């Protein structure tokens, strides 16, 4: 069993505002006057990409001074927006990198270079925005033609007889570096393209925390459905008419309320980052079960080669919780549900997760101060931490969701089976209310919660902050469940 180390380091970025930036179809050469937030504003992709189907596109925005990256999201009407944390009261230079997702790879098509000023309630841009589509990083198969030109000519930008494997690898690596700037040979043009507008709500920055499971992730070959998860869609829209079937997550309404988050000083298994404090959450709906392989495979089917069926560790797929998926792909799954249904799906915040896991209790587990292996799937062969073996065989693997018992809120597997992603950044002392917020900065690490099939009971406590995950790492211990915001 791999021992998980909790690393109590942190970085806190204060005085941040969540800025929703709307990228308009053509970036006007000129200036954009200050505008109020316009969440219903119809926007589109750059004019250079008008001939490229939305279903293969994704966009990543990098703030140049910090290097932080944020994924774009596409609405059903074809517009794009990016939710991001930036400091208010100052200008920010950005690069918006537009990709085509082909053969499991991201191919760089266009970069938009610009600047905006983040005020307390508005965003103002006075700088010209430049579109770049040629030069270093824009020719993935090294044949002298840009990726965009080849797509427009119905050619394959990832295959050329004259491109060596080494140069192709180098070009592909360059195309996935969203922060890369073009060289002097790049062709820059000021197009009749237009810029940004945003609304803001108060948020805070990020911090770092625990490492989740320092074990190499399971990987499989293409036949097994294994993936390194470099082919995630980065939140881009999928097919033009995605369909969600009856196999999608069953949701349970959770009432609004306040509770004591964290663990008391008397808890013998308490960790230093479990400070007790009062937290209130709004009403929400959460999946009764962890997302299953069947549900995730339906999502994969909507995207063809843009997503891969994850490796199941040779335990079987079906109704077992999906594993070996990245945080980025879990977010893409929730965005797919949102676009398909018109509702707002996302991962739970850390506070929502603990509130749901407790089910109204304040004990170590929702079951009291001990936990039996017929209530949650964990390693009961060692009683340390309050675990009780009932005599049933210990399988040392995931179980089909819903195999054991419901907690008081009517949820399965909250404290066992697999660790679950949240949408919250980590702070080692719950500073700045990070636990009650979602943050989609792909360069930061997010909190993962819950017990797992091969860890002892102390890791299944409701207050345990199991660790942190990066956007693209995958692991055979980690899955997720979804939240739907109240309509």
pLDDT bucket at 131, cuts 50 / 70 / 90: confident
How far apart CA 56 and CA 304 sit, in angstroms, is 10
pLDDT in tens, 87-113: 767 788 888 888 887 765 678 888 888
For residue 67, is pLDDT > 80? no
Residue 378 has what DSSP assignment?
A: S
pLDDT bucket at 362, cuts 50 / 70 / 90: very high
- Three-state SS for 23? strand
What pLDDT score does 87 carry? 73
List the Cα angle 195/199/202 in 5-degree steps: 135
For residue 369, is pLDDT > 50? yes
Residues 6+ apart with CB under 8 A from 468: 208, 209, 210, 211, 212, 426, 445, 446, 447, 448
Contact call for residues 349 and 204 (beta carbons, < 8 A): no
Across the strands, what pairs with 206? none
For residue 7, is pLDDT > 80? no
Bigger pLDDT: 216 vs 470: 470
Lowest mean pLDDT among 119-123, 220-224, 247-251, 253-257: 220-224
For residue 138, is pLDDT > 90? no
C-alpha pair distances (Å), 92 with each of 66, 71, 254: 9, 17, 39
Residues 6+ apart with CB under 8 A from 435: 261, 279, 349, 350, 351, 424, 427, 447
Torsion sign over Cα 240, 245, 248, 251: positive
Q: Report the percent of the chain where pLDDT is more than 70.
A: 65
Name the segment(s) of the chain with CATH classification 3.90.1580.10: 222-485
**Tokens 């249904």 appear where?**
341
For residue 365, is pLDDT > 60? yes
Across the strands, what pairs with 17? 86, 202
How far apart CA 74 and CA 69 sit, in angstroms, is 17
| DSSP string over 247-314 | TSPPEEEE--EEEEES--TT-TT--TT---EEEEE--EEEESSPPBHHHHHHHHHHHGGGS-PPP-TT
For residue 294, is pLDDT > 60? yes
CA proximity to 419, closest of 478, 377, 364, 360: 478
What pLDDT score does 397 carry? 97
How far apart CA 391 and CA 382 sit, in angstroms, is 13
Taking every pair of Cα atoms in the chain, the longest distance, rounded to a whole number of angstroms, is: 73
**Tokens 């930061």 appear where?**
444
pLDDT bucket at 166, cuts 50 / 70 / 90: very low
Provide the CB-side half-sphere exposure for 16 (13 A, CA): 21
CA proximity to 457, closest of 341, 368, 346: 368
What pLDDT score does 478 carry? 97
pLDDT in tens, 376-411: 999 999 998 999 999 999 999 999 999 999 999 999
Compute the average pLDDT of residues 318-327: 95
Other CB atoms within 10 A of residue 275 CB:
17
What pLDDT score does 360 carry? 95
What pLDDT score does 487 carry? 73
What pLDDT score does 105 carry? 66
What pLDDT score does 102 carry? 73
Other CB atoms within 10 A of residue 272 CB:
10
Rounded to 5 degrees, φ, ψ at 287 are -60, 135
The two beta strands, 196-203 and 16-23, are antiparallel
pLDDT in tens, 20-45: 333 333 332 232 322 333 222 234 57
The torsion defined by the Cα of 71, 76, 78 and 82, in degrees rounded to 10, comes to -20
pLDDT bucket at 71, cuts 50 / 70 / 90: low
For residue 418, is pLDDT > 50? yes
What pTM does this model have? Answer: 0.56
Rounded to 5 degrees, φ, ψ at 396 are 55, 40
pLDDT bucket at 412, cuts 50 / 70 / 90: very high
The two beta strands, 419-425 and 284-287, are unpaired
Mind spelling out the 3-state secondary structure of 335-361? Answer: HHHHHHHCCCEECCCHHHHHHHHHCCC
What pLDDT score does 88 carry? 67
Residues 6+ apart with CB under 8 A from 139: 145, 146, 147, 157, 171
How far apart CA 349 and CA 204 sit, in angstroms, is 14
What pLDDT score does 93 carry? 84
pLDDT in tens, 264-285: 999 999 999 999 999 999 999 9
Compute the average pLDDT of residues 466-475: 92
Contact call for residues 52 and 100 (beta carbons, < 8 A): yes
Other CB atoms within 10 A of residue 294 CB:
15
What pLDDT score does 4 carry? 39
Question: CATH number for the 222-485 domain, one of 3.90.1150.110, 3.40.50.300, 1.10.1740.110, 3.90.1580.10?
Answer: 3.90.1580.10
The two beta strands, 478-479 and 419-425, are parallel
């Amino acid at each position: 069993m791999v021992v998980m180390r909790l690393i109590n380091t942190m970085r806190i970025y204060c005085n941040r505002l969540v800025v929703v930036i709307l990228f308009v179809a053509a970036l006007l050469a000129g200036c954009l006057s200050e505008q109020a937030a316009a969440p219903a504003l119809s926007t589109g992709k750059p004019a250079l990409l008008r001939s490229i189907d939305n279903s293969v596109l994704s966009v990543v925005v990098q703030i140049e001074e910090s290097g932080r990256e944020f994924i774009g999201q596409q609405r059903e009407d074809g517009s794009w927006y990016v939710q991001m944390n930036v400091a208010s009261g100052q200008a920010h230079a950005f690069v918006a990198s537009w990709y085509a997702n082909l053969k499991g790879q991201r191919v760089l098509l266009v970069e938009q270079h610009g600047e905006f000023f983040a005020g307390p309630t508005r965003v103002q841009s006075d700088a010209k925005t430049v579109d770049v589509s040629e030069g270093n990083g824009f020719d993935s198969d090294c044949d002298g033609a840009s990726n965009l030109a080849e797509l427009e000519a119905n050619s394959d930008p990832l295959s050329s007889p004259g491109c060596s494997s080494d140069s192709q690898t180098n070009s592909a690596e360059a195309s996935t570096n969203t922060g890369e700037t073009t060289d002097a040979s790049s062709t820059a043009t000021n197009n009749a393209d237009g810029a940004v507008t945003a609304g803001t709500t108060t948020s805070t920055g990020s911090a770092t925390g625990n490492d989740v499971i320092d074990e190499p992730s399971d990987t499989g070959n293409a036949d097994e459905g294994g993936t390194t998860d470099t082919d995630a869609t980065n939140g881009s829209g999928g097919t033009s008419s995605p369909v969600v079937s009856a196999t999608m997550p069953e949701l349970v309404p959770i009432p609004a309320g306040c509770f004591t988050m964290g663990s008391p000083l008397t808890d013998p298994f308490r960790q230093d980052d479990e400070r007790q404090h009062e937290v209130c959450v709004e009403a929400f709906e959460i999946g009764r079960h962890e997302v299953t392989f069947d549900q995730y495979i339906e999502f994969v089917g909507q995207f063809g080669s843009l997503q891969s069926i994850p490796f199941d560790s040779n335990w079987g797929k079906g109704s077992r919780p999906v594993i070996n998926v990245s945080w980025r792909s879990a977010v893409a799954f929730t965005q797919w549900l949102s676009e398909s249904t018109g509702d707002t799906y996302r991962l739970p915040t850390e506070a929502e997760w603990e509130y749901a896991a407790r089910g109204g209790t304040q004990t170590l587990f929702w079951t009291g101060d001990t936990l039996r292996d017929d209530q949650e799937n964990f390693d009961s062969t060692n009683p340390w931490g309050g675990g009780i073996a009932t005599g049933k065989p210990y399988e040392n693997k995931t179980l089909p969701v819903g195999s054991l018992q419901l907690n008081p809120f009517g949820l399965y597997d909250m404290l066992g089976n697999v660790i679950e992603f949240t949408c919250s950044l980590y702070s080692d002392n719950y500073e700045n209310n990070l636990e009650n917020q979602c943050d989609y900065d792909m360069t930061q690490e997010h909190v993962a919660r819950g017990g797992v099939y091969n860890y002892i009971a102390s890791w299944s406590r409701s207050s345990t902050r199991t660790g942190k995950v990066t956007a693209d790492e995958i692991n055979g211990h980690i899955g997720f469940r979804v939240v739907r915001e109240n309509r």
